[in-house]
Amino acid sequence: MKVLVINCGSSSLKYQVLEMEDESLLCKGLVERIGIEGSVLKHEKAGEDKYVLQVPMDDHKDAIGHVLNTIVDPVHGVAKDMSEISAVGHRVVHAGEKYASSVKITESVMDALEECTDLAPLHNPPNILGIRACQELMPNTPMVGVFDTAFHQTMPAESYIYAIPYEYYEKYKVRRYGFHGTSHKYVSERAAAMLGRPIEDLKIITCHLGNGASVSAIRYGKCIDTSMGFTPLEGLVMGTRSGDIDPAIVTYIRQKENLPQGEMNNILNKKSGVLGISGISSDFRDIEQAAEDGNERAQLAQRVFAHKVRFYIGAYMAEMNGVDAIVFTAGVGENDIGMRDIICQDLSNLGIKMDLIRNKVRGKETVISSDDSKVKILLIPTNEELMIARDTVELAGLK
Ligand code: AMP
């Protein structure tokens, strides 16, 4: 049974086809520059060289049409015809307060997603376009929506309500939503499996550290707090995003620099984070290299980033009255050995002890804490697509 997973951005689209009998990846690909000159599809069939298709793709329907043709291509494809694709799982960023789990897509789900467009103006419209395009091209195939916000819907009100006039929550739904939910859910479930204990008995802190980064507190399998907020700007320092700042800074800098409307938003999302501090790059590999070469602002960027992760780990340990496991995942969490080292330094009084030798590993599911560490530190590569495909199988009634 094959499942197609689609993740649509404004001018790009990622996809995977998985064989769900054994959860293996059959192919994956990326379409870039949709609706822009130079559209390109890069397709990788498991174990084979990359296939690149350069043809004009005017819109998402065009792009998905080419993806589907490639999937059934006799040479590069992984299916004889489209009837072999049993269901499609769509990654959708924002479901507001409407959905606390994945759902089979119906017209009323589409209406709900349209209603959430205000909350995620950059992300939800291309997600919706992707679903519509698939519905037109595969009218008889069940579609499932898997939401970045859903896993965090179990947060109690004290975690999600901001201390601003309550009417803004009532009128405009201004509250903490949290993002990366599919990843936090996946790695917390894997953590329980690695520890050989039911997730209902465990307190877990999951650190999704990528270009975007967030930490979640997961008590007995349910998210009770997360660092991203109303938008993915809040919380940790990120590649180009500031994370938490004093909101008064926004008006202060805008006045001082006489910035046009909207520019602060751009600065905080695109020019801040480790890029803003270092002045070098948003990529942690470049920061690491510069820090090794003695660049003090790169070293400072690393320390500020680590400081904020430690800050949230401490906060979430307090919220949960302890923790059984801390998980590192995503690009930085899975690969940046030095950063994991700094984050876990001097936490032995909290029962957290990293094994520096075990920590010298990248992208592999493994325990990196020492044997006498009360808290297990785990490295778990995330797999959002697999999580989406699993939910798709279940909700499309294919199990
Ligand atoms: P993600 O958003 O999860 O795809 O993570 C992407 C980020 O992971 C990149 O921008 C890099 O900053 C970081 N990254 C990937 N590989 C490494 C590595 N070997 N060492 C340090 N950082 C890495």
Please give the chain's pLDDT, 399 residues, in tens. Answer: 999 999 998 899 999 999 999 999 999 999 999 999 999 999 999 999 999 999 999 999 999 999 999 999 999 999 999 999 999 999 999 999 999 999 999 999 999 999 999 888 888 999 999 999 999 999 999 999 999 999 999 999 999 999 999 999 999 999 999 999 999 999 999 999 999 999 999 999 999 999 999 999 999 999 999 999 999 999 999 999 999 999 999 999 999 999 998 999 999 999 999 999 999 999 999 999 999 999 999 999 999 999 999 999 999 999 999 999 999 999 999 999 999 999 999 999 999 999 999 999 999 999 999 999 999 999 999 999 999 999 999 999 998
Number of Cβ within 10 Å of residue 63's Cβ equals 27
Give me the torsion for CA of 324, 329, 332, 334, rounded to 10°: 100
**Residue 259: what are its φ and ψ, rounded to 5°?**
-85, 145
DSSP 226-238: ES--SSTTSSS--
Atom of ligand 1 at shortest range from CA of 339: 21
- 175 in Cβ contact with 162 (< 8 Å): yes
Largest CA distance in the chain: 62
In the chain, what are the domain boundaries?
Answer: 2-147, 181-384
CA 352 to chain centre: 25
Q: Structure tokens of 305?
A: 């980033």
- 175 in Cβ contact with 166 (< 8 Å): no
State residue 83's pLDDT score.
Answer: 94
Q: Residue 278 and residue 80: Cα distance in Å, rounded?
A: 50
286 catalytic residue (yes or no): no
Q: Residue 243 and residue 12: Cα distance in Å, rounded?
A: 25
Q: Give 109's Cβ-side CA count (13 Å radius).
A: 20
pTM of the predicted model as reported, rounded to 2 decimal places: 0.95
Task: Kindly provide the b/e burial profile for residues 177-198, where b requires at least 16 CB atoms within 10 angstroms of the residue's own CB.
Answer: bbbbbbbbbbbbbbbbebbeee
Q: Residue 145 and residue 168: Cα distance in Å, rounded?
A: 28
Q: Is the CB of 186 under 6 A from ligand 1?
A: no
State residue 121's pLDDT score.
Answer: 86
Pocket test for ligand 1, best of 182, 186, 284, 287 (most atoms within 8 A of CB): 284
Domain topology for 2-147: Nucleotidyltransferase; domain 5 (3.30.420)
Q: Structure tokens of 155?
A: 């947060």
Whether 2-147 shares its CATH topology with 181-384 is answered yes
Distance 38 CA to ligand 1 centre (A): 26
Q: Which residue, chain included where needed, has tokens 């990248």?
A: 362
State residue 284's pLDDT score.
Answer: 96
Q: Residue 326 and residue 376: Cα distance in Å, rounded?
A: 6
State residue 107's pLDDT score.
Answer: 96
Q: What's the CATH class of domain 181-384?
A: alpha beta
Distance 282 CA to ligand 1 centre (A): 10
State residue 132's pLDDT score.
Answer: 96
State residue 233's pLDDT score.
Answer: 95
- Specify the DSSP class assigned to residue 295: -
